[in-house]
Structures are given as structure tokens and as C-alpha cells.
Chain A
Amino acid sequence: NADVTQTPKFRILKIGQSMTLQCTQDMNHNYMYWYRQDPGMGLKLIYYSVGAGITDKGEVPNGYNVSRSTTEDFPLRLELAAPSQTSVYFCASTDAVSVDTQYFGPGTRLTVL
């Protein structure tokens, strides 16, 4: 089954802790994205990648880091968690041929206390 998977589904962090949100896709897509979704705010792009080894900042990158060592994986790193990072995080991917449909993972709900 073609899929975007995210782990964990839920996480509670204390201020200052760090964690990595995992994202994996099995569709051999070149393009991958990280979004955050805040209530009433829609989705905001955090980082994106056009292929292994290539990443770039989106609209709201502060406080986050990414890497893309393989086509399949695109982890998102929070180094020093802050309450403002409480949100739902979505990973998405799309292929190079049909760059107009993004496939989304189920999301990670993160709370920073």
C-alpha cells in the first residue's frame, strides 16, 4: 500500500526537551514536506526537500531542523521544545512527474508543557 507514515502519533514534551518526528514514504517520491497545523490557522510549511541531501526552509522554520539522507525518510528535529511548538505536525510527499497532489501522513500531535 502506497503510504506516508508518521511516528509517534502523540507526544508530550517538557520545555527544553528535544525530539525527532519521523516520516517515511514508500512511493519513491522526491518531494517531501513538513507542515504544522494550529487551530484556526490552516497548515504552515516548516521545511521541504526536493530530494535526498537537499532541504530548504518554508514559512515557519525557526526552532526546527530537518535532514534527508534517503528518498524515503524526512525526519523533523525539535532541539529545544517551547510551548509555541504545541501543534499537530503533518508530513507530505509528492512525485516529480505529477507535482500537484500531495499525499499526507496521519499526523503527530505534540504538546509542550
Chain B
Amino acid sequence: AQSVTQLGSHVSVSEGALVLLRCNYSSSVPPYLFWYVQYPNQGLQLLLKYTTGATLVKGINGFEAEFKKSETSFHLTKPSAHMSDAAEYFCAVSEADTGFQKLVFGTGTRLLVSP
């Protein structure tokens, strides 16, 4: 069975600092990997995704993530945090060969950005 582990339920950074949100996954087959962002009182919005090809994936709002198969990781980074990045971030995995997507989500990491 697939699973996702997000290390740290809360991460605090200062505005302008590096953002690093950690995600490790478990999958018996090649995975599709996703990061979703949830702003307060809103639904989830896709930030970026890895399906095949280049392992460094760029998303919206300056975020990027790197798929590292040997480490079973898909950490999310942003070089310089902005106040508007404060939100909850979810990592998710689905199996690449099912032809139908069933996402398994991590428990989420809340990013706090201080001035």
C-alpha cells in the first residue's frame, strides 16, 4: 500500500528565508507525486506534480520539488519565503500504472511566515 510521510506538522520561517517542506513516500510501483496547497477556508490547489521525465519539477509561486527515487523523497522548496506563502501544504502520491488516480495524502505541514 502507498503511504506518505510529511515531517513536521508546522514549519516556521522568516520572510525571505528558504522554505523546505519534507515529504517521503512509499510505493511498490513508480509513483506520481504531488504537492497541493490549502489557504485558509479554501479547497486544495495543485502546486506542482511529478509524473515522468525531469526529476526537478517547477510549480507555481516559485516553488519547486525534486523527485529522488533512491531516497523515496519529494521535498518542496522555495528560495525566499513570502508572507503570502503562509498556508498548509500537502504531499500526495498515486500509483502510475493504475490508469486511474487515487491519491493518498500526507497529514500536511502548516507553513508560518513571520515578518
Smallest distance from the beta carbon of A26 to chain B beta carbons, Å?
Answer: 15
Q: Is the CB of B49 within 8 A of A107?
A: no
A48 proximal to B (CB < 8 A): yes
Which size bracket describes the interface of B in this complex? 20 to 34
Q: A41-B107, A43-B90 are in contact. Are A104 and B43 (CB under 8 A)?
A: yes
- Measured between beta carbons, the chain B residues less than 8 angstroms from A31 are 100-101
Q: Is the CB of A100 within 8 A of B101?
A: yes
- Measured between beta carbons, the chain A residues less than 8 angstroms from B105 are 42-44
Q: A41-B107, A42-B108, A100-B51 are in contact. Are A90 and B101 (CB under 8 A)?
A: no
Q: Is the CB of A50 within 8 A of B43?
A: no
- Measured between beta carbons, the chain A residues less than 8 angstroms from B29 are none
Q: Is the CB of A99 within 8 A of B99?
A: yes
Q: A40-B107, A100-B32, A100-B51 are in contact. Are A48 and B99 (CB under 8 A)?
A: no
Q: A40-B9, A100-B49, A101-B49 are in contact. Are A106 and B103 (CB under 8 A)?
A: no
Q: Is the CB of A58 within 8 A of B103?
A: no
A61 proximal to B (CB < 8 A): no
- Measured between beta carbons, the chain B residues less than 8 angstroms from A107 are 41-43
A66 proximal to B (CB < 8 A): no
Q: Is the CB of A94 within 8 A of B107?
A: no
Q: Is the CB of B43 within 8 A of A101?
A: no
- In this complex, what residue of B is CB-closest to A45? B102
Q: A41-B107, A104-B44, A106-B42 are in contact. Are A58 and B102 (CB under 8 A)?
A: yes
A81 proximal to B (CB < 8 A): no
- In this complex, what residue of B is CB-closest to A106? B43
B17 proximal to A (CB < 8 A): no
A4 proximal to B (CB < 8 A): yes
- Measured between beta carbons, the chain A residues less than 8 angstroms from B24 are none
Spell out B's residues near A (CB within 8 Å): 4, 9, 32, 34, 36, 41-46, 49, 51, 90, 94, 99-103, 105-108
Instruction: Apart from A50-B100, A92-B44, list 17 A-B contacts with CB within 8 A.
Output: A4-B43, A40-B9, A42-B4, A42-B105, A44-B105, A48-B102, A99-B99, A100-B34, A100-B49, A100-B94, A102-B46, A102-B101, A102-B103, A104-B36, A104-B43, A104-B45, A107-B43
